[in-house]
Amino acid sequence: MPRFLSISYHDEQNRPAEAPSAELQQRMGELYEEITKAGVVLDMAELAPTSEATKVTWSGDKAHYTDGPFTESREVVGGYTIIQAKDKAEALEWARRFLEVQGRYEPTTSVEVREIAE
């Protein structure tokens, strides 16, 4: 069964300052419980902000390190989920359902779904 990586993108400069409402947190919890019971989630996590990140590039036969935040990028990877689904359509359906909930909190969130090459 193929695995898929869902990468969620956020507008880091315009993230909501307040936590999600209790109702929205409940809906998020219900969705995570459902996807876990369905047995498709292999791993998922939210990432720390880019202000805590370091970018490593290679040039002139040596590594160069740049600490975040990276002002040239407004939209950043905010989290990921690895799922095992029967096909891309199922993986896209889980991404749609995630956005249906997350989009109420952070309307600019988008998700890229890519099959992991085996």
The rounded average pLDDT for each run of 10 residues, N- to C-terminus, in the chain (118 residues) is 96 86 93 93 93 94 93 86 96 96 90 96
- For 7, 24, 108, 117, the CA distances from 14, given in Å and listed in that order, are 18, 19, 9, 33
Structural domains in the chain? 3-115 (3.30.70.1060)
pTM, two decimals, is 0.85
Q: What is the pLDDT of residue 47?
A: 94
Q: What is the pLDDT of residue 16?
A: 86
AA identity, residue 92: L
17 Cα distance to chain centroid? 18
Classify the C-alpha dihedral 35-40-42-46 as positive or negative: negative
Angle between helices 22-37 and 88-105 (to 10 degrees): 170
Q: What are phi and psi of 47, to 5 degrees?
A: -95, 150
Secondary structure element (H or E) that encloses residue 9, with its range: strand 3-11
